[in-house]
C-alpha cells in the first residue's frame, strides 16, 4: 500500500499529462461556467446573498448544540428514530443493525457523500445485503467499482462510449451512444429496484432545526422514490448540515443549485420530517436519522478553520480549482476532493498523512472567491501548512531557508552566487531536470530561466554614472 | 443491535464535544477575522432582495412562471376557467393515449378525473405500488406555484402522498391562479402558515420534469421521475 502522498504524486503526474482526461474535464466545466454565470447574474445581489448565507451557516454552526437538540426533538416528536454516531464504525453498525433487524434483502440508496465517507456500501455488502446506488452517476461508478469522481458529478470523467460499454457488459444492454437511451437503460434497471427494495437510504443537504426536517436536493427523482416506496427509510448526515429556520432554504436552495450546477433551483428539493403519518397514504413505516460526527467536532474546536463546517458540498470550489482541473478527482484519494477536501481531510483523517494536499494549491484564491458561503479556503490551506510544519518540522527545509536567509542578507554572498550562477548556467542545461539534478521535482517540468547578463543593481549603477 | 450502541450516551458525548469546541470563538465571515459579540443571526427579511427579481403584479408573476417553465420544459398552460382547464386535460389525455390515471381525492381532481372517464387509481388510504407504476399519469393538486423559479410546492398530505407526483411517467398539476406566489421566501412563509402546527412528513418543491446531466453533462429528461410535467392553472 503506497502512502497517500506518493499515490497523489504518481496519479497527479499521470493525470496532468492525460490529454483525453483534460479534454473531458475542460469541456464539462466550461459548460458549467457558462450556465453558472447566467444564473449568478440573475440574482439581484449575489455578493449579499453570499454574505447572508455565510452568516446563516455561521449562526447554525456556532450554536450547533442547541440546533441539533431542536432538530432531533422535532423529528422524534413525529415518530422518527434519531441515532447519534461519534465514529464511522458506529454509524455503519447502526445502519447495518437496522437492516438486519428488518431482515431486508435489498437496499436502494440515493447519493450521499457521507455514506462514501464511512464506506457504507462495502460494509453492508459484507453483511450480505445488496446495495443499489440509484443516482445515475453514482450507479455508473458503482458498476465500475470505483469512487465518485466529483461530489456533484460522480461520472464526469467518463464518455458516453465508456458508459455504453459498461452497461453492455454489466447489464447486457445494446450499445448506444445516445445519452438519452443510456439514461433509459438505467431508469428501467432501477425501477424494479425501487419497487422491491425493503430499505431506502438517503443523505441530506440540509437539516432544518426549527421544524426537524432534512432537505434533499436532487434532479433525477431517485431520492424521492427511495423515500416513498421502501418500508424503512434511513438518512445519514453529518452534524454540520444544520440550518436554523425553514425559510433559510429560500436562500440556500437557489444558491446551492447556482453554485453547484448552474441551475436556478434543482429539480426536486424535498423535506422529510418523519415516517408516514396517520393521515397520509404512503411513505415508510419507519424513519431513522443517523447523525454523524466522525471528527467534525475536532474541526469545530479550531475557531480559525471552523467555517469549513459551513460547507454545503456544492462542488463549486472543485470546478474552479486549477489543481482539480489538472489532476482530477480520483487523484486526491479522499472522499471530498478539491479545495474543500484539501482543507478538511487533514482534520478528518490526520494532518501529517494528508498535509500534502495543502501544498497542492496555487493559492490563487479562486475557491474562496467562488464559495457561496464564503469559506476562507485558500487561507485554510496555508493554516494547514503552518500547523503541519509546526507539528513536524522538516529539518532540511529549515536549513535550506536559513542558508537562503543568510545569502540574501549578505551582499557579498549574493554577489558571489550571482557570479557562480552566470558561470554555471551554460552547463546547467545539460543536467537540469535529469536524475542528477537535486531540484528535479521542480525542474523536470520547467525550463530553467536564462541568467541575465546584467543584474538590476549593475544596470542601476551604470545608468546613474 | 441499536440498543447495544447506547444512542443516548453517544448523543451526550457528541453534544459535550460540541459545547467544549464552541468555547473558542470564531470570527464572523466578511468581518476581516473579527469576533463579533452577540451576533443574533442573519436578517432573513433581506433574502428576497438578493434573490432573482420578480414583479409583484399578477401579470409579472405569471410571465416569470411561464418563462421559467419554458426553460425547464414544463408544459405550463394558464387558462381562463375550470371548464377550459378540463378541456386542456382531456386533449393531453387524448394526445398521449392515457389508459389509466392515478390521482387523489379533492373537489378539483374528483371532477377532473370524472370528466376524463378513465380507470383511476386513488391513492387515498393506501394503494398498490405496482398498480401505480402501470398508470400513465399522476394527477394532483398543489399548495403553491412559485413564480420566481417555476416551482410547484406540494406535500404528502395535500398532494396525494409521496409517490403520486414522482412514480408515473407524467405528472399533471391542477392549480388555481390564486396559488401563485412571488418567490421562494413567500413559498416557505406559506408552508409555515399552513402547516405550522403539524407539518406533513414530506414537503417538496418540484421544478420541471425529472432530469439528469450525469452523462457528459448532456441534459436528459425523465431520469427516474416523470419525463413530463404539465401545469394547468385556471383563473
For every residue of A148-162, DSSP letters joined together read -SSSS-TTTT--HHH
pLDDT at B21 over 50: yes
How many angstroms away from the CA of B8 is the closest CA of chain A? 8
- Average the pLDDT over B2-28 and give the result: 84
Could you report the per-residue pLDDT of A166-179, keeping only the tens digit for each? 999 999 999 999 99
Contacting B residues, span 194-233, partner chain A, CB-CB under 8 Å: 199-218, 220, 222-226
DSSP per position, A379-447: HHHHHHHHHHHHHS--HHHHHHHHHHHHHHH-HHHHHHHHHHHHHHHHHHHHHTTSTT-TTHHHHTTSP
Judged by a CB distance cut-off of 8 A, whether residue B193 touches chain A is no
To test the contact with chain A by mutation, choose from B183, B215, B229 the residue with the greatest count of A C-beta atoms within 10 A, namely: B215
With contacts defined as CB-CB under 8 Å, which chain A residues touch B7? Answer: 82-84, 94
Domains of chain B: 57-234 (3.40.50.10420)
pLDDT at B7 over 60: no
Residue A338: the pLDDT is 96
A37-41, A59-63, A387-391, B134-138: the lowest-pLDDT one: A387-391
Chain segment A371-415, per-residue pLDDT in tens: 999 999 999 999 999 999 888 888 888 898 999 999 899 988 888
The answer to whether the Cβ–Cβ distance between B52 and A140 falls below 8 Å is no
The confidence band for B5, taking pLDDT boundaries of 50, 70 and 90, is: low
Residue B120 has pLDDT above 90, yes or no: yes
DSSP string over A79-126: TPEEEEESSHHHHHHHHHHHHHHTT--EEEE---HHHHHTTHHHHHHH
pLDDT average, residue stretch A299-313 = 97
Q: Which domains does chain A have, with CATH numbers?
A: 43-294 (3.40.50.10420), 397-463 (no CATH)
Weakest mean pLDDT among A125-129, A308-312, B68-72:
A125-129
Contact call for B2 and A261, based on CB within 8 A: no
Instruction: Say if B1 is an interface residue toward chain A (CB within 8 Å).
Output: yes
Closest Cα in chain A to B206 = A268
Q: Which pLDDT band holds residue B6 (cuts at 50, 70, 90)? A: low
> What was the pLDDT predicted at B1?
45
Query: In the prediction, which pLDDT does A444 show?
Result: 81
pLDDT, average across residues A321-348: 96
Between chains, do A279 and B129 touch, taking CB under 8 Å as contact?
no
Mean pLDDT in residue range B189-202: 96
pLDDT higher than threshold 80 for residue A268: yes
- Residue A34: is its pLDDT beyond 90? yes
pLDDT tens, B90-118? 999 999 999 999 999 999 999 999 999 99
> Cα–Cα distances in Å, from A124 out to A109, A132, A201?
12, 11, 12
Nearest to A218 by CA among B189, B176, B207: B207
For residue range A10-27, list pLDDT tens digits in order. Answer: 999 999 999 999 999 998
What pLDDT sits at residue A443?
83
DSSP calls for chain B: -GGGG-HHHHHHHHHHHHHHHTTSPPPPTTSTTPPPTT-----GGGHHHHSPP--SSHHHHHHHHHHHHHHHT-EEEEESSHHHHHHHHHHHHHHHT---EEE---HHHHHHHHHHTS-EEE-TT---HHHHHT-SEEEEE-SEEETTTTEEEEETTTTTSSSTTTSSSEEEEEEEGGGEESSHHHHHHHHHHHHTTS--SEEEEE-SS-EE-TTTT--EE-SSS-SEEEEEEE-
Note whether B188 contacts A: Cβ–Cβ < 8 A. yes
Res. B181: pLDDT tops 50 = yes
Among B21, B53, B201, beta carbon nearest to A273: B201
Q: What is the average pLDDT across A196-210?
A: 97
Nearest to B188 among A68, A159, A246 (CB): A246
Nearest CA in chain A to B132: A195
Residue B184 has its nearest CB partner, among A160, A254, A268, at A254
Grid coordinates of A218: 436532487
Q: How far is A286 from chain B (nearest CA, A)?
A: 12
Q: What percent of chain B has pLDDT over 70?
A: 97
Residue B132 has pLDDT above 70, yes or no: yes
Interhelix angle A179-196/A136-143, rounded to 10 degrees, is 90
Structure confidence at residue B8 (pLDDT)? 58
* CA dist., res. A285 & res. A10, Å (int): 49
Q: A295: phi > 0 → left, psi -120 to 50 → alpha, else beta; which?
A: left
Let me know: does A321 contact A367? Beta carbons within 8 Å.
yes
Closest A-chain CA to B45: A247
Nearest chain A residue to B68 by CA: give it.
A264
Q: What is the pLDDT of residue A428?
A: 81
Inter-chain contacts counted by CB atoms under 8 A, chains A and B = 330
| CB pair distance less than 8 Å for A281 and B127 | yes
Query: CA–CA separation, A351 vs A357, rounded Å?
Result: 10
Predicted confidence at residue B124, as pLDDT, reads: 96
A427 has a pLDDT exceeding 90: no
Q: At what angle do helices B184-195 and A249-261 cross, to 10 degrees?
A: 140
pLDDT computed for residue B135 by the predictor: 97
Residues in B closer than 8 angstroms to A46, CB to CB, are 50
Picking from A93, A249, A303, the nearest residue to B26 by CB comes out as A303
Helix, strand, or coil (residue A206): strand
Question: pLDDT higher for B235 or A439?
Answer: B235
A394 closest CA partner among A385, A382, A404, A407 = A385
Indicate which of B6, B9, B14, B53 best probes the interface with A, i.e. most A CBs within 10 Å of its own CB: B14
Q: Which of A46, A221, A245 minimises the CB distance to B223?
A: A221
> What is the predicted pLDDT for the residue at A397?
84
In Å, how far is B148's CA from the nearest CA of chain A? 9
- Closest-CA residue of B relative to A149 is B214
Q: Which residues of chain A are within 8 Å of residue B151 when distances are taken between CB atoms?
A: 265
Amino acid at each position: 500500500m503506497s502512502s497517500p502522498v506518493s499515490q497523489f504524486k504518481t496519479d497527479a503526474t499521470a493525470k496532468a499529462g492525460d490529454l483525453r482526461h483534460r479534454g473531458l474535464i475542460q469541456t464539462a466545466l466550461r459548460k458549467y461556467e457558462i450556465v453558472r454565470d447566467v444564473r449568478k447574474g440573475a440574482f439581484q445581489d449575489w455578493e449579499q446573498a453570499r454574505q447572508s448565507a455565510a452568516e446563516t451557516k455561521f449562526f447554525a454552526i456556532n450554536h450547533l448544540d442547541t440546533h441539533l437538540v431542536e432538530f432531533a426533538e422535532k423529528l422524534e416528536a413525529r415518530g422518527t428514530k434519531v441515532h447519534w454516531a461519534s465514529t464511522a464504525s458506529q454509524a455503519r453498525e447502526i445502519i447495518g443493525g437496522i437492516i438486519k433487524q428488518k431482515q431486508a434483502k435489498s437496499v436502494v440508496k440515493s447519493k450521499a457523500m457521507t455514506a462514501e465517507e464511512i464506506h457504507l456500501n462495502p460494509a453492508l455488502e459484507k453483511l450480505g445485503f445488496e446495495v443499489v446506488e440509484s443516482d445515475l452517476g453514482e450507479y455508473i461508478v458503482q458498476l465500475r467499482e470505483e469512487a465518485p469522481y466529483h461530489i456533484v458529478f460522480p461520472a464526469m470523467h467518463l464518455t458516453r462510449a465508456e458508459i455504453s460499454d459498461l452497461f453492455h457488459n454489466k447489464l447486457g444492454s445494446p450499445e448506444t451512444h445516445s445519452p438519452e437511451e443510456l439514461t433509459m437503460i438505467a431508469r428501467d434497471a432501477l425501477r424494479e429496484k425501487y419497487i422491491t427494495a425493503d430499505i431506502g437510504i438517503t443523505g441530506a443537504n440540509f437539516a432544518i432545526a426549527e421544524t426537524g426536517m432534512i432537505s434533499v436536493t436532487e434532479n433525477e427523482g431517485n431520492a424521492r422514490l427511495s423515500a416513498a416506496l421502501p418500508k424503512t427509510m434511513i438518512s445519514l448526515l453529518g452534524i454540520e448540515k444544520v440550518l436554523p429556520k425553514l425559510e433559510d432554504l429560500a436562500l440556500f436552495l437557489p444558491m446551492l443549485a447556482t453554485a453547484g450546477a448552474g441551475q436556478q433551483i434543482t429539480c426536486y428539493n424535498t423535506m422529510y420530517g418523519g415516517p408516514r403519518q396517520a393521515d397520509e397514504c404512503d411513505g415508510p413505516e419507519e424513519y431513522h436519522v443517523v447523525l454523524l460526527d466522525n471528527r467534525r467536532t475536532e474541526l469545530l474546536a479550531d475557531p480559525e478553520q471552523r467555517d469549513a463546517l459551513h460547507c454545503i458540498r456544492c462542488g463549486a470550489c472543485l470546478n474552479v480549482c486549477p489543481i482539480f482541473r489538472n489532476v482530477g478527482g480520483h487523484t486526491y484519494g479522499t472522499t471530498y476532493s478539491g479545495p474543500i477536501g484539501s482543507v478538511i481531510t487533514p482534520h478528518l483523517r490526520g494532518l501529517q498523512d494528508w498535509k500534502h494536499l495543502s501544498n497542492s494549491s496555487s493559492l490563487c484564491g479562486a475557491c474562496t472567491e467562488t464559495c457561496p458561503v464564503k469559506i476562507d479556503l485558500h487561507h485554510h490551506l496555508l493554516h494547514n501548512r503552518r500547523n503541519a510544519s509546526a507539528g513536524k518540522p522538516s529539518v532540511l527545509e529549515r536549513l535550506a531557508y536559513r542558508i537562503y536567509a543568510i545569502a540574501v542578507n549578505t551582499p557579498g554572498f549574493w554577489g558571489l552566487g550571482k557570479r557562480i550562477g552566470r558561470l554555471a548556467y551554460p552547463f546547467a542545461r545539460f543536467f537540469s531536470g535529469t536524475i542528477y539534478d537535486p531540484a528535479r521535482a521542480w525542474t523536470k517540468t520547467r525550463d530553467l530561466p536564462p541568467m541575465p547578463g546584467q543584474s538590476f543593481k549593475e544596470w542601476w549603477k551604470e545608468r546613474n554614472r | 443491535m441499536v440498543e447495544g450502541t447506547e444512542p443516548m450516551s453517544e448523543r451526550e458525548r457528541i453534544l459535550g464535544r460540541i459545547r467544549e469546541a464552541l468555547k473558542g470563538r470564531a470570527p464572523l465571515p466578511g468581518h476581516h477575522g473579527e469576533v463579533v459579540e452577540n451576533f443574533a443571526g442573519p436578517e432573513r427579511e433581506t433574502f428576497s432582495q438578493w434573490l432573482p427579481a420578480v414583479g409583484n403584479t399578477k401579470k409579472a408573476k405569471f410571465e416569470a412562471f411561464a418563462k421559467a417553465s419554458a426553460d425547464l420544459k414544463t408544459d405550463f398552460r394558464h387558462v381562463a376557467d375550470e371548464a377550459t382547464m378540463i378541456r386542456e386535460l382531456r386533449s393531453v389525455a387524448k394526445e398521449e393515449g392515457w389508459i389509466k390515471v392515478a390521482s387523489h381525492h379533492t373537489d378539483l381532481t374528483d371532477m377532473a378525473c370524472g370528466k376524463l372517464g378513465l380507470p383511476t387509481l386513488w391513492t387515498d388510504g393506501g394503494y398498490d405500488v405496482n398498480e401505480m407504476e402501470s398508470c400513465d399519469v399522476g394527477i394532483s393538486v398543489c399548495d403553491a406555484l412559485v413564480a420566481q423559479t417555476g416551482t410547484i410546492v406540494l406535500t404528502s398530505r395535500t398532494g396525494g402522498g409521496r409517490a403520486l407526483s414522482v412514480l408515473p411517467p407524467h405528472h399533471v398539476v391542477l392549480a388555481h391562479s390564486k396559488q401563485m406566489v412571488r418567490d421562494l421566501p413567500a413559498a416557505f412563509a406559506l408552508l409555515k402558515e399552513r402547516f405550522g402546527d403539524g407539518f406533513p412528513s414530506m414537503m417538496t418543491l418540484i421544478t420541471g420534469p425529472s432530469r439528469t446531466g450525469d452523462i457528459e453533462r448532456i441534459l436528459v429528461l425523465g431520469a427516474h421521475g416523470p419525463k413530463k410535467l404539465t401545469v394547468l392553472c385556471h383563473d
